[in-house]
Structure 1
Amino acid sequence: MRQSLYDVPGLAEPVEILVDRWGVPHLYARSRADLFLAQGFNAARDRLFQLDLWRRRGLGLLSEVLGEEYVAHDRAARLFRYRGGMAEEWAAYGPGTEEMARSFTAGINAYVALCRERRPPGADPLPPEFALLGYQPAYWRAEDIARIRSHGLAYNLQDEVARARTLRDFGPGAEDLRRVREPAPHTLRIPEGLDLSVIPDDVLHTYELATVAPWAPHAAPRQGLDGSNNWVLAPSRTATGRPLLANDPHRPVSLPSLRYLAHLTAPGLDVIGAGEPALPGISIGHNGRIAFGLTIFPIDQEDLYVYRTHPDDPHRYAYGDGWEPMERVTETIPVRGRDPVRTELWFTRHGPVVRERPERQAAFAVRAAWLEPGMAPYLGSAGYMDARDVDAFTDALRRWGAPGENQVYAAPDGTVGWRPAGRVPVRPNWDGTLPVPGDGRYEWAGFHDPDALPSVRDPAQGWWATANELNLPADYPHAERTVTYDWYAPTRHARLAEVLGSREDWTAEECVRLQTDCVSLPARAALRLLDGLTGEDPRVRTALALLRGGGTFLPERSRELGGGWDGTLAADSAAGALFEVWYRGHLRPALLREALRPLVPADRLEEAVARLRPAEGAASDARVDPALFRTAAPALLARTLGDAVRELEAALGPDPRQWSWGALHQARLRHPLAAELGEPPWAELAPVPRGGSGDTVGATPYLPDFRQSGGASFRMVLDVGEWDASLVVNSPGQSGDPRSGHYADLLGVWAADGAFPLVYSRERVERECELRIELRPALSGEAPDAGEAGEESAPG
């Protein structure tokens, strides 16, 4: 077994870190302060460049090391960081959060100091990115963790603006084709005083610069990219008589992974699971007494305010009976290789100003609940990760701020349940579906009481699942306590309900298989359109034979599938490839075009189709499709099928026996700064074929080139009470350092829809241990923070 020893400033007593053969660190400390310091140190050991990039992006310091092309991103990030008082901020999370953050960042700083000093002599612990880019990692302040807000998931600003633009340009009939609002029917009402024509198409450009990583694929807007699945099974539904909890959060697939697994043990705390590498604690996992997992509960926590500005001063806006001045903040952005850039940031009483149109006497600002105290994304998990029972867990969720989450839980005594968490704004006189004037008529009146949201404990059917769908009870008073009208499509939840309720012998392994289920319910619905369809075109006959005849031309697969394709988008499926190319690339646009013909002028038809067509890089939304399907004429079906076959022939060759969905649809994990680094060989991993789509439980949404854009890089199934039997995977590996054996060692397991044991007991950890790290108290005192080192940390 390999061993390592580090002298770490700030530790009071030694800490053990046992790294198992899958790269999961198990930390054992004698106090919480030492534990979280060690967690920060170890996170930096595995993910230092990722941590440094995360901090620079969130605080607006990318230009300092990457150059002037990032100045606009830095300015936007500074607009959207938390600017309130830290005393109020720390208090909002509950006892111990500030101390945890201080210990965690002290640990990061201890590792940064080690790298800067190249200890031990002759070694180079610094990840290679720093040398290639020619800069040193920065020191942290504890408040950096709380001030950075841009890494969270927030709703529903982009839908507000998309809806306003559609109403402005094409009318309400077109908006009903763009996205379904739930619960239906829901009538849109343009707020009194709102002039839709004044809202520019690029009104959210600055917002998107702040909230979308500049190296994300095509810098795609964040909203809709991320869903999740979770479920709990009561003892009556499992083979062992123990509860099971499954969770697979969906986020952009990345190198390294967004998630990081760790096991944290100190007196009174023994928690294991996943969090984000730059945050202390664990947000998804278990503590030996209760298991917990989350999915997005899409609370509408954002609004766009539209202001009438003074004709003589664009930084004064109409409010009430007078004119109110905007607040100006001047900051300096350091830029590599050139003089610093001074920039002015403007704020209204509602939030940061993201666009100005002085020629129209207009300005626009964003009000976001996640910019208020206690709303740093996921930091609320500090309040529940040591909960001793389900009551303590659900009580801690009352303090959860952002993002909105469906929290499910399970305990060894058999209790299972669901509680949504997050602050829901009170909008007394509008429903949040559209932007509003910023003149004082449309103000939030605080937040609804957390207990106003429903919850479930020990459901009668023995299971509960969430997949971001509308899951409020039928009698929920939506008009009085609006959560949102922009829920995700229920497709994944419908498939989960179909399968979870079908058996009473669930195991952890079967749950892993369900997490990667590739059955497309929209495919089943679309295939019914083909009943009775014939065609003279050989390409149409090819398509019908493939979709009706078992999904492949290989006899052995036809027997396996029982003679008919069942809508499973397996990576090796030829029918799956044909269906996705036909459905998304040809059928949907054609049906949408026909539906829009009577609604929009002929010279704007193609613009309308492009604008309303679902974003394929997003979690898919098939709710509009049933109405469109009813208009599908046989000639349109035949024409679009032929076009789809033609596209596949061009992409994969003329022989359908050589087609497969995975030949088109692949995960290609690429370092966020591969180009800036000079394209080293470790900056992009070999592509892996993928099954599924944005419609399937095993969600693999994709971009126009079929490259997977999001999904579950991390999956966990917890065997509640028999904790060592739990299963997990984290792609592509636990480490972000390309020199590590754990940089990409889990990619194959993930691509094969597999998992490995999430060992918990000390006995199992010792058995699986491959590296033993000892952290000893150093004699040199504490590592510096950003302020002591003379570095800019929190601009402004």
Structure 2
Amino acid sequence: MKRTLKILALLLVTLIVAAGAAAAWYLHTKQPQRAGTLTLTKLTAPVSVNFDERGVPHIRAENEIDLYRALGYVHAQDRLFQMEMVRRLAQGELAEVLGPKLADVDRLFRTLGIRAHAEATAAQMDLQSPSSKVLTAYLDGINQYQDTHPAPMEFDLLGIPKRPFTAQDTLAVSGYLAYSFAAAFRTEPALTFVRDKLGAGYLKAFDLDWHAEGVLKPGTTTAMNPQTWQKLDQIAQLSQQALAAAGLPRFEGSNAWALSGRRTASGKPLLAGDPHIDFSVPSVWYEAHLSAPGFELYGHLQALNPSALLGHNQQFGWSVTMFQNDDMDLVAEKTNPDNANQIWYQGQWVDLQIHEETILIKGEAPILLTLRRSPHGPIITDAFPQSLGTTPVAMWWTFLETDNPILDAFYELNRADTLEKARGAASKIHAPGLNVVWANAAGNIGWWAAAKLPIRPDNVNPNFILDGSTSEADKLGFYRFSDNPQEENPARGYIVSANHQPKPNSGVPVPGYYNLYDRVQRLNERLRDESIKWDVTNSQSVQLDSQNGYGPRVLKPLLPVLNDIVTDPLERALLQSLAKWDGNHTVNNIPPTLFNQFLYELARGAMADEMGEIQFKNLLGTRALDFALPRLAADANSPWWDNRNTPAVESRADTLKVVWRATIDHLQATLGKNPTDWGWGKAHTLTHGHPLAAQKPLDRLFNVGPFAAPGGRETPNNLSSAIGPAPWAVSYGPSTRRLIDFADASQSLGINPVGQSGVLFDAHYKDQAQTYIEGGYMPQHLSAADVKANTRSTLTLTPAAAH
């Protein structure tokens, strides 16, 4: 018997060891290869790839085509799953691998027309252009990696089939990039609802022109019915949920500034940039140092794009921020009572263009989707079934209506060492709108608001849904690039871009959904100090600044009222802490926790009863609310203060009493009875989420965090989320922080929020996460000596032998 038990025990141990060995072998096959020699077909000469201490590849090739083929290969081995997910999101193919819960997201993205537009654009590409040649080589490198290696673990878990990556995928991803900037889906329905359902008195808080012409007006033949509002509500919600459901980053805002040599310690320009993007695993940027005869760049790249969206070398560099211009209009169409597929356009009934697409659904039957298009653009209300009886709402979008040679633009920007070249490259960016902030070692600094700005008829306010039956919904063309907001070598000696409303010298109107001005005011306050000579060390304090004036600005008119309302001694102490608060959001500070909960309760207490649950939820995700709340706070007579659900007419004081009580009660229920436990870092945390994290317990395996997070809404260190109740899960923030002094750009600094690799268990999967949240920086090696000194391994890619 004992012998039998020993045999069984030995067998059990053997099985466990074998299973462990199999698991170890399986995981090993998924890891990137960063040393040794590999062959790639179509290479004309060997390519060396030196990986530094952060896993950043420093690629040296004998020509540009070899360089980009190698880039595609190494990018794929670190980020193939990210590439797969972003192309599926952009082209409406997520449900094929993630199941029916993503069907509505696929419906939305098919309806946006990105897939069809990318297909048509790819078919018309000039394959002999430099940018097309580079893209072809890069995609070939990706596909060679995919064809010769086991699929990533996520492919196995989800059953994702391998298929080649194409130019259509890259072009579709540029459409996703443009879409992720667009605020129209969230904002225009909400503001139109306020105007049409509530009235001018309520609209006053948003500081919009009540008498704008060309917008959809109540009582007209194209006025929207309840079914239309329901569809737009669904679209607004989906536009916020889509990227989160796929675990992919959305672009939110950014900081960038350039200082001339007279403002720096070195006497040469200094460039700083930190684009604000949703956090994810892996992070959005892939860093790579590219070098070939006549070309060198340290670049930050996105999945499926071979040209860097951020970059620098010894001679020049640039960063980008989101322009936030309104390049998307929602247009309600007037349908023919006798033919639902005809709309009134320029004085006559015209047929809608109709075509069908099939959405594949994992585990279920495919969906046949009928898509319609008016002269104004895709009918977005067709994104959902049962649209019969719904007023068709079209989407006019610059991305679909211009040539938009964005691949050429960034190919040229990667090589733009003069003001003229940088300006010319920026002029080719049509959508999404981007602020390009640029500097070079020759002493120049520049900023160009890069976008095709549509010419709308006079007095048309695109904040509202437009009436498609009138000429005001049409576009009269586009303004010249030279009319866009821009500056070159300004006398003040510096340029700041922070998603604020720009004022072009040309006088051209620039409507948009801009961020609060508090962040740019804070940056300007720091940078205009002539007594400071800036370098890459003291500039860090500006990027990491967690203070702004928004909180004190909202509170100023309310504190006297609250002082009469709050009587409890402990709560009065809390109120006094708010009165003394300077707007700083550090992790141990209690006032930011109190204020941000109060801000949500203020919005909810004043607006939720009028807006209703769905529209209020949509409003929380808009920048319009950020601007409205200080105006509301200062207006004691605003109709928003009255609660429509009670027979009495509430005053500002009445509502603030409810708001304060709700604030304290929620914080006590959520964070504990003792306010000393309400530190900002306890309530405000960052977790880098992976697309598979929605499936428990995979979140514990793939996610990185949580971390107590400093910063807040519209502080320079803009770690934040939408207005909402505590606790706050940080959703977006600086996607990298870069500092480059062109006295010696090889000493530039940067950081990745998580790590360079997207491969689980790889050493660089999350090796920068702790440093990032602590405000640390890492060197971005550029000189040959620094690259050599910090190389940890070398991979050599050689041409395949001729057959």
- TM-score clears 0.5: yes
1:652 corresponding residue in structure 2: 671
Matches within 5 A, 1:95-134: 95-115=129-149, 118=150, 126-134=151-159
The match for 1:585 is: 600
* Secondary structure class of the residue paired with 1:510: coil
TM-aligned CA distance change 1:778 to 1:209, over 3 Å: farther
Helix, strand or coil: the match of 1:403?
A: coil
Partner of 1:517: 545
Structure 2 residue aligned with 1:432, among 434, 446, 462? 462
1:468-527 alpha-carbon deviations (Å, 9 max, x no partner): 111214x652xxx33215322211001011111124221212222211211131223345
Is 1:81 matched up with 2:114? yes
**Structure 2 counterpart of 1:497, one-letter code:** N
Read off the aligned partner of 1:570 and give its amino acid letter. T
Q: Which residue of 1 aligns with 2:6?
A: none
* 82 and 350 in structure 1: CA distance in 2 versus 1, 3 angstrom threshold: farther
Task: Find the counterpart in structure 2 of residue 293 from structure 1.
Answer: 319
The change in CA–CA distance for 1:707 and 1:289 in structure 2 (over 3 A counts) is same
SS at match of 1:407: strand
Q: Which of 742, 765, 768 is the aligned partner of 1:720?
A: 742
Structure 1 length-normalised TM: 0.85
Tell me, yes or no, if structure 1 residue 466 matches structure 2 residue 497.
Answer: yes
Residue matched to 2:409:
380
CA contact (8 A) 1:310 1:361 kept: no
The equivalent residue for 1:60 is: 92
Deviations 1:177-216 (A, max 9, x none): 2x345xxx78533537674434722444675688656350
Confirm or deny: 8 A CA contact 1:617 1:709 kept in the other structure: no
Structure 1 residues 42-91: Cα deviation after superposition (integer angstroms, max 9, x where no partner)? 11111011111111222222233223333333333233215354378546
Gap regions ≥5 residues in structure 2: 1-32, 637-650
Asked whether 1:50 is paired with 2:82, we answer yes
Q: Answer yes or no: is the 8 Å Cα contact 1:35–1:264 preserved in 2.
A: yes
Distance 1:63 1:217, change over 3 A: closer
| 1-structure distance, mates of 2:323, 2:300 | 19
Q: Is the 8 A contact 1:620 1:694 kept in 2?
A: no
Q: Which residue of 2 aligns with 1:418?
A: 447
Of 163, 170, 177, the residue aligned with 1:138 is 163
AA in 1 matched with 2:68: F
Residue 627 of structure 1 deviates from its aligned partner by: 5.1
C-alpha contact 2:81 2:152 (8 A) present in aligned 1: yes
Q: Aligned pair 1:776/2:776, yes or no? A: no
Structure 1 position 730 matched with structure 2 position 730: no
AA aligned to 2:45 is E
**1:287–1:386 CA contact under 8 A, matched in 2:** no
CA distance in 1, matches of 2:110, 2:388: 26
Q: Given that residues 489 and 623 in structure 1 are in contact (C-alpha distance below 8 angstroms), is that contact kept between their aligned partners in structure 2?
A: no
> Aligned with 1:143: secondary structure?
helix
- Give the match for residue 191 of structure 1: 215
**2:648 corresponds to 1:621:** no
Q: Does the CA-based 8 Å contact 1:289-1:388 persist in structure 2? A: yes
Shift of 1:741: 0.8
Q: Note if contact 1:160-1:434 (Cα within 8 Å) is conserved in structure 2.
A: yes
Equivalent residues of 1:301, 1:424 under 8 A apart: yes
Q: 2:509 aligns with which of 476, 482, 494?
A: 482
Partner of 2:485: 454
Equivalent pair of 1:283/1:378 in contact (CA under 8 Å): no
The equivalences for 1:497-646 within 5 A come to 497-502=524-529, 503-526=531-554, 528=556, 529-530=558-559, 533=563, 535-547=566-578, 565-582=581-598, 584-590=599-605, 592=606, 605=610, 607=612, 611=616, 615=620, 621-622=626-627, 624-626=629-631, 628-629=633-634, 631=636, 640-641=659-660, 643-646=662-665
Cα RMSD for the two superposed structures: 3.2
* 1:457 Cα deviation from its structure 2 partner: 1.5
Residues 68-467 of structure 1 aligned to structure 2 (within 5 Å) = 68-79=100-111, 80-81=113-114, 83-84=116-117, 85-86=120-121, 90=125, 95-115=129-149, 118=150, 126-148=151-173, 149-152=175-178, 153-158=180-185, 159-177=187-205, 179-181=206-208, 187-191=211-215, 195-198=222-225, 200-204=228-232, 214=242, 216=244, 226-355=252-381, 360=389, 362-375=391-404, 380-429=409-458, 430-439=460-469, 441=471, 442-467=473-498
Deviations 1:412-467 (A, max 9, x none): 12211211111111223434232223346232222111111132112222111011
Retained in 2: the 8 A contact 1:320–1:439?
Answer: yes
Normalised by the length of structure 2, the TM-score is: 0.84
Q: What is the Cα deviation at residue 2 of structure 1?
A: 6.6
One-letter identity of the residue aligned with 2:587: A
Distance in structure 2 (CA, Å) of the matches to 1:18 and 1:220? 29
More helix by share: 2
In structure 2, what is the Cα distance between the partners aligned to 1:393 and 1:221? 27
Structure 1 segments unaligned to the other structure (5+ residues):
119-125, 549-563, 597-603, 782-796
Alignment-mate amino acid for residue 272 of structure 2: A
Specify which structure has the bigger relative contact order, considering alpha-carbon pairs within 8 angstroms and separated by 6 or more residues: 1
SS across alignment from 1:742 = coil
Structure 2 residue matching 1:451: 3-state secondary structure: helix
Residues 547 and 307 of structure 1, relative CA distance in 2, 3 Å threshold: closer
Displacement after TM superposition at 1:747 (Å)? 0.6
Counterpart amino acid of 2:690? H
2:684 is aligned with 1:668? no
Partner of 2:12: none
- Please state whether the residue corresponding to 2:446 is helix, strand or coil: strand
What secondary structure sits across from 2:242 in the alignment?
Answer: coil
CA distance in 2, matches of 1:328, 1:636: 51
2:546, 2:717 within 8 Å by CA — same for their partners in 1?
yes
Amino acid at match of 2:105: H
For 2:455 and 2:371, how far apart are their aligned partners in 1?
Answer: 28
SS in 1 for 2:716: coil
CA offsets 1:116-151 (integer angstroms, 9 cap, x no match): xx4xxxxxxx32111222333321112321134123
**What does residue 556 of structure 1 align with?**
none
With over 3 angstroms needed to count, the CA separation of the structure-2 counterparts of 1:344 and 1:780, relative to structure 1, is farther
Give the whole-Å Cα distance in 2 for the aligned partners of 1:210 and 1:379. Answer: 32
Alpha-carbon shift at residue 708 of structure 1 (Å): 0.7
1:686-705 CA-to-partner distances (Å, cap 9, x unmatched) read 20011222131111222534
Give the C-alpha shift of residue 393 in structure 1: 0.9
Query: Identity rate of aligned residues, in percent?
Result: 27
